[in-house]
Amino acid sequence: MLTGHYGPAFIIKVIDRKVALWMLFIAVQIPDIIWGTLILTGFEKARINTNLLSNPLELYYMPYSHGLLSSIIYSIMIVAILLLFPYFRKNIGSACWIGVAIFSHWILDFFSHRPDLPIIGDKMKIGLGLWDYPLEAVIVEGAIFLGGAIWYAVKVGGFKRKTSAIFWSFIIVVLLISSVRELIMTPANVEMVAISAMCFYIIATLIIYYVEKNENTKN
């Protein structure tokens, strides 16, 4: 799952206006940012396997980035680090919501991944495997992403026309690209998956930073 993780980011922003949406955009992808880093440095392993039913990404060793226990540990650790900053000490709730955003990644991956998410270390792997039904997976992921975006725009929005155009163009382009990617494309290698995902996270966060800045000046 790639774009669906942004659904909880939008929802949390509506619940707690004090937490920046661009920070939530980073938070919900932290497990994948860790995964990309560990794949590129060789600490976690994956391969492209076209014999699989659908998504050819075979994630056979990712105990650090996508383990249940490790996800809980680094969600708590990042909240603790945030609480070192005066802003988050004044807004402890916002720091906790960022922790929830980080952990929401594992929950959504649990529904979408095949049983490749280890509970402790590299053992007891679970996952409900929505990925094995590509069309349904794309529809569910798109609905979570689009639903969150609409709810955010309605509840927080108040965009100027230009900001609104940028925001909705971003949402539509991302929906199209992610659907095509999941339904048609087979990645050349795992490193390319990691690099392209991380580039996408950076671009998405920068666009949301711009949108949010302009949304705030209007309100």
Give the shortest CB-152-to-Zn ion separation in angstroms: 22
Residue number with CB closer to Zn ion (13 or 113): 113
Residue number with CB closer to Zn ion (31 or 148): 31
Candidates 26-34, 43-51, 143-151, 156-164: pick the segment binding Zn ion (CB under 5 A).
Answer: 26-34
Residue 11 CB neighbours (<10 A): 18
Residue number with CB closer to Zn ion (78 or 166): 78
Report CA torsion sign: 216, 204, 70, 37.
negative
Residue number with CB closer to Zn ion (12 or 211): 12
Residue number with CB closer to Zn ion (109 or 182): 109
Q: Which residues pair with 123 in a beta bridge?
A: 120
Give the shortest CB-142-to-Zn ion separation in angstroms: 17
Candidates 23-31, 87-95, 116-124, 173-181: pick the segment binding Zn ion (CB under 5 A).
Answer: 23-31
Residue number with CB closer to Zn ion (33 or 79): 33
Candidates 101-109, 139-147, 156-164, 200-208: pick the segment binding Zn ion (CB under 5 A).
Answer: 101-109
Going from the C-alpha of 191 to that of each of 3, 40, 48, 102, 170, the distances in angstroms are 19, 6, 10, 23, 25
Which among 3, 22, 37, 51 is positioned nearest to 178, based on CA atoms?
3
Contact (CB, 8 A) for 112 and 130: yes
Give the shortest CB-33-to-Zn ion separation in angstroms: 10
Should residue 212 be labelled a site residue for Zn ion when binding is judged by CB under 5 A? Answer: no
Should residue 182 be labelled a site residue for Zn ion when binding is judged by CB under 5 A? Answer: no
Instruction: Output the CA torsion 160→161→166→169 (10° steps).
Output: 140
Should residue 32 be labelled a site residue for Zn ion when binding is judged by CB under 5 A? Answer: yes
Contacts of 123 (CB under 8 A, 6+ apart): none
Q: Binding residue for Zn ion (CB under 5 A) from 2, 25, 109, 200?
A: 109
How many Å apart are CA 165 and CA 175, to the nearest integer? 15
Burial of 58 (0-12, 13-18, 19+ CB in 10 A): middle
Residue count, binding to Zn ion (CB under 5 A): 3
Residues that bind Zn ion (CB under 5 A): 31-32, 109
